């Protein structure tokens, strides 16, 4: 029986198996940001030890960084302390550090792939749940806790129970206006936020293969939101083309050797998964969430599920969620007034996302009632926006582009949605207070966000796009 791709990568990184316990897994790349690393560094300092392989560790602030006036001191004292502490720790321990205003800075899950740091066949960890993003490169990537960050710093290894394997096939062709974000929200609506708990997911099928690399990054990013330990996609020619020539990617003979190995990274035709699911791409339309977890999603033309369709045990929490959002069972969201629109985050802060947003708003004007935050995921994306003239399109439509950072994905910096306001957001979580105390979040794709930004209400983007162009 052929191994799954997950087995191939995981097993090749096992240093030691603990009988009736976890496995000691070698880690190729550790990413550190400012939020989950301070205690790990303190632990290292207290034990008087250095990082085992400092060259394999890359640090950058992203959660607490403001998205304006980055050349000035950070005003919030907590944010400033965390950002400054990361810089000091990285210097003391001799680690790679891309600080604010460094051209390599940005959201760590955007920077890793775009700089060629995240490569096929790697094991990658970070003290952040959305580390699964890097699985799009054909890597086994997952989030870890702060004590585990310290463990990797000290040994370049981690103790982990091997997850079960799941393959999710998306077969067919996506409809016009349907994106990778919609695939992810659709899967969560079908599987719930716990449907993949205990599994590492391989995404496959024709619709997945047809996704761009940036679309694949979006899909893998959201794996954690359905409970999965991580998600990944087998590398192919599209992957190799994306990586080639990037700053930290192999060069010359090393490149040829790497590609030869990467071509072996696929599940065998007779590979058996612990669980396998198949969905039709044609069943997916642009999606929106209506509740307070990412699994509470529906097609944009559909209605919020009626109360009698909800299991008795879940009715109380269901009604609580809708009450927080100000919605009712059976309600359609089309036409619902929108206060804020956020384009960005490690989910949708890449150049392709800005291209999509611009394709909708070009020749139109931002709705007066809408406050829009358009935040590139990195300085590289920011430069691409200028090089392609997307900044001009957006400015003419009444939008302003901010500086890179996690921004309104989470209420950990200045970009907080005010209480009671409704935001259409391209980020990954819509929990109560996630985007600010009392903020209400509808998760959606860049196309849906753009449509809301110019109409001032939740709008099906397919009604605004000329697909013949």
Across 85-120, b (16+ Cβ under 10 Å) vs e yields: bbbebbeebebbbbbbeeebbbbbbbbbbbbbbbbb
Average pLDDT, 10 consecutive residues per value, the chain (469 residues): 88 93 96 96 97 98 97 95 98 98 97 98 98 98 97 98 97 98 98 96 98 98 97 98 98 98 96 97 98 98 97 96 98 98 98 98 98 98 98 98 98 96 98 98 98 98 78
Residues 6+ away with beta carbon under 8 Å from 156: 26, 27, 30, 52, 53, 56
Write the pLDDT tens digit of every residue in 336-356: 999 999 999 999 999 999 999
Closest CA to 165 of 108, 91, 230: 230
Whole-model pTM: value is 0.97
Domains and CATH numbers, the chain: 5-275 (3.30.499.10), 288-463 (3.30.499.10)
pLDDT of residue 1: 47
């Amino acid at each position: 029986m052929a191994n799954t791709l997950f087995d191939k990568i995981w097993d090749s990184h096992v240093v030691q198996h603990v009988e009736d316990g976890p496995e000691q897994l070698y880690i190729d790349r550790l990413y550190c940001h400012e939020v989950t690393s301070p205690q790990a560094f303190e632990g290292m300092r207290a034990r008087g030890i250095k990082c085992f392989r400092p060259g394999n560790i890359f640090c950058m602030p992203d959660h607490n960084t403001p998205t304006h006036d980055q050349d000035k001191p950070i005003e919030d004292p907590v944010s400033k302390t965390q950002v400054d502490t990361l810089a000091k720790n990285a210097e003391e321990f001799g680690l790679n550090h891309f600080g604010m205003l460094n051209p390599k800075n940005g959201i760590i899950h955007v920077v890793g792939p775009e700089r060629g740091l995240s490569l096929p066949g790697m094991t990658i960890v970070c003290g952040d749940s959305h580390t699964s993003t890097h699985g799009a490169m054909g890597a086994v990537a997952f989030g870890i806790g702060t004590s585990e960050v310290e463990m990797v710093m000290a040994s370049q290894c981690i103790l982990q129970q091997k997850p079960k394997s799941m393959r999710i096939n998306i077969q067919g062709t996506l409809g016009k206006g349907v994106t990778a974000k919609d695939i992810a929200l659709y899967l969560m609506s079908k599987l719930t936020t716990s449907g993949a708990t205990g599994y590492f997911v391989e995404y496959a099928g024709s619709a997945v293969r047809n996704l761009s690399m940036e679309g694949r990054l979006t899909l893998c990013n959201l794996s954690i939101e359905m409970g999965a330990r991580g998600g990944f996609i087998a590398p192919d020619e599209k992957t190799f083309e994306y990586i080639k020539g990037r700053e930290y990617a192999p060069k010359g003979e090393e490149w040829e050797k790497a590609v030869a190995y990467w071509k072996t990274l696929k599940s065998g035709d007779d590979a058996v998964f612990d669980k396998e699911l198949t969905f039709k791409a044609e069943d997916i339309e642009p999606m929106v969430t209506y509740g307070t977890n990412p699994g509470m999603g529906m097609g944009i033309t559909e209605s919020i599920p009626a109360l009698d369709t909800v299991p008795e045990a879940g009715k109380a929490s269901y009604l609580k969620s809708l009450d927080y959002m100000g919605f009712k069972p059976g309600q359609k969201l089309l036409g619902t007034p929108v206060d804020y629109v956020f384009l960005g985050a490690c989910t949708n802060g890449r150049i392709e996302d800005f291209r999509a947003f611009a394709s909708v708003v070009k020749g139109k004007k931002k709705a007066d009632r809408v406050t829009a935050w358009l935040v590139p995921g990195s300085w590289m994306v920011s430069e691409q926006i200028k090089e392609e003239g997307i900044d001009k399109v957006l400015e003419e439509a009444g939008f302003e582009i901010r500086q890179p950072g996690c921004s309104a994905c989470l209420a950990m910096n200045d970009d907080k949605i005010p209480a009671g306001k409704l935001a259409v957001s391209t980020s990954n979580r819509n929990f109560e207070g996630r985007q600010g105390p009392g903020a209400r979040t509808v998760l959606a794709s860049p196309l849906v966000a753009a449509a809301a930004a110019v109409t001032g209400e939740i709008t099906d983007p397919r009604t605004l796009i000329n697909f013949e162009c």
